[in-house]
């Protein structure tokens, strides 16, 4: 059986530095397929998609709400020619009912240990409309190494510099944050992978830079200490979501290769100021993630928050607009209040306002979002700040002897596309 696995494209946000990272969900899913299935993979964000070929089945892997409309169009094109389409991934789970209008089957939940039965159903012409395993998490012993060999590796370079590889050491989250759908997708339990599985996967990743995509590295102190000790021998340089604010955990994280973290900055408190300082004290850079449009935010609050971000010396900042994704507390509350005015999923990219804020107009919130980006990066561009951050990673790798120079054959390319500009100067990554 020939299965074509597709990761649909989505429009990138204006004004932000664009980086296309090798997707994680599709290659994790591919590892769950039976060996008799021949898999080809297309990431439409970095390579062209041929809609005229004829695989036995198409599988859509959709992570973002901003991907679903494109995914539905792809599904419609293949089904018009009699080719069955299955959809899965986070966005499929959030938009399952609508997705069913365009595909033959949706798969909800974790795939490990379950795809043999799905493929068998397909082979005998008895594919079910819905495979619902949302309430049945798998044994993480079943989660083996992702099939990264399916990726078009040369397309995940920018001017010869390789992008980070995505990797996960746990699933689930015991928290239930207001704008987040993780509790719907996987329940509120924290589920760590067995450490021998973590080591197995790390040993197979040939990239020295990782993005540890666990929902949070702040859930279990004892496990984190074990994890970071297990990671240290592999000498990876990695970024992640927040790390537990504990001196021993932070020290072990730094020794294991923590490069920078995405840390939510939700107020101007001394706690946040000290939280950032403690990361910096351990040599860990911080990209603040700032959510705009919460009900308790006034325009003055937003302006003070941006001033605060500049004051505490964040290495990077990422501003997003509160977005009521389906199956989140934010969606349920705003929908109940009749404040959601758009269901155009292309606009659910955390950069567009799709609801009526409490303390300002939607138009004013959109203006403040643009202002926040411009104000924070007024003196130094996002790309320059990222360059400086990369330089620190390079210096660490050089000290460890793990540094890999930029690909000179790819210095005139960015994510598979040719650049007209002159080659970059010597510096970080050279």
What are the distances in angstroms from CA 109 to CA 134, 161, 214, 337, 394? Answer: 4, 34, 16, 30, 38
Residue 422 has pLDDT above 70, yes or no: no
Residues 6+ apart with CB under 8 A from 48: none
pLDDT band at 19 (very low <50, low <70, confident <90, very high): confident
d(CA 409, CA 187): 46
Region 85-100: what's the mean pLDDT?
98
Computed over its alpha carbons, how large is the radius of gyration of the chain?
22
pLDDT at 426: 46
Q: pLDDT per residue over 97-156, tens digit each?
A: 999 999 999 999 999 999 999 999 999 999 999 999 999 999 999 999 999 999 999 999
d(CA 332, CA 325): 9
pLDDT at 353: 98
Which of 9-23, 82-96, 404-418 is predicted least confidently?
A: 9-23
Residue 15 has pLDDT above 80, yes or no: no
Q: pLDDT per residue over 247-267, tens digit each?
A: 999 999 999 999 999 999 999
d(CA 105, CA 90): 15
Per the prediction, the chain carries an average pLDDT of 95
3-class SS at 413?
A: strand
Give the HSE-up count for residue 43: Cα atoms under 13 Å, Cβ half-sphere.
21
Length of the chain: 430
Adjacent-strand bridge partners of 58: 4, 85
Q: pLDDT per residue over 210-226, tens digit each?
A: 999 999 999 999 999 99
Alpha helices in 221-281 (DSSP H): 221-231, 247-256, 270-281
Domains and CATH numbers, the chain: 2-140 (3.40.50.280), 149-393 (3.80.30.20)
| E strand map for 89-236 | 105-108, 130-132, 157-158, 161-162, 165-167, 170-171, 191-192, 209-212
Adjacent-strand bridge partners of 146: none
Region 343-371: what's the mean pLDDT?
98
This prediction has a pTM of: 0.95
How many angstroms from the chain centroid is the CA of residue 11?
Answer: 15
pLDDT at 421: 52
Residue 175 has pLDDT above 80, yes or no: yes
């Amino acid at each position: 059986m020939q299965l074509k696995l597709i990761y649909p494209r989505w429009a990138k946000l204006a004004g932000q530095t664009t980086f296309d990272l090798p997707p994680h969900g599709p290659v994790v899913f591919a590892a769950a397929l039976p060996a008799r299935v021949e898999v080809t993979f297309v990431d439409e964000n970095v390579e062209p998609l041929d809609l005229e070929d004829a695989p036995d089945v198409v599988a859509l892997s959709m992570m973002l709400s901003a991907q679903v409309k494109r995914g539905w169009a792809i599904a419609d094109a293949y089904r018009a020619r009699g080719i069955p389409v299955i959809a899965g991934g986070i966005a499929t789970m959030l938009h399952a009912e609508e997705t069913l209008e365009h595909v033959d089957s949706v798969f909800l939940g974790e795939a490990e240990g379950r795809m043999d039965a799905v493929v068998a159903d397909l082979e005998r012409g008895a594919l079910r409309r819905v495979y619902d395993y949302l309430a049945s998490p798998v044994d993480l012993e079943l989660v083996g190494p992702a099939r990264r060999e399916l990726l078009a590796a040369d397309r995940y370079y920018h001017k010869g510099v390789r992008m980070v590889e995505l990797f996960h050491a746990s699933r689930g989250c015991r928290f239930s944050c207001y704008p987040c759908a993780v509790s719907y997708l996987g329940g509120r339990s924290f589920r760590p992978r067995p450490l021998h599985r973590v080591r197995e996967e790390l040993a197979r990743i040939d990239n020295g830079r990782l993005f540890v995509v666990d929902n949070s590295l702040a859930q279990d102190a004892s496990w984190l200490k074990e994890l970071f000790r297990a990671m240290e021998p592999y000498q990876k340089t990695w970024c992640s979501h927040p790390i537990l604010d504990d001196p021993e955990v932070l020290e072990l994280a730094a020794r294991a290769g923590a490069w920078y973290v995405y840390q939510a900055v939700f107020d101007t408190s001394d706690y946040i100021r000290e939280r950032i300082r403690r990361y910096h004290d351990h040599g860990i850079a911080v990209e603040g993630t700032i959510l705009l449009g919460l009900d308790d935010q006034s325009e003055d609050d937003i302006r003070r928050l941006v001033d605060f971000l500049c004051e505490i010396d964040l290495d990077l900042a990422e501003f997003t607009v509160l977005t009521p994704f389906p199956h989140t507390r934010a969606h349920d509350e705003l929908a109940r209040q009749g404040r959601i005015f758009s269901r155009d999923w292309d606009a659910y990219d955390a950069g567009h306002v799709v609801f009526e804020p409490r303390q300002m107009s939607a138009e004013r919130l959109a203006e403040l979002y643009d202002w926040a980006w411009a104000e924070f990066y007024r003196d130094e561009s996002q790309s320059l700040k990222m360059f400086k951050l990369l330089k620190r990673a390079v210096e660490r790798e050089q000290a460890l002897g793990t540094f890999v120079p930029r690909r000179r054959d790819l210095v005139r390319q960015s994510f598979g596309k040719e650049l007209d500009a002159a080659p970059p100067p010597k510096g970080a990554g050279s």
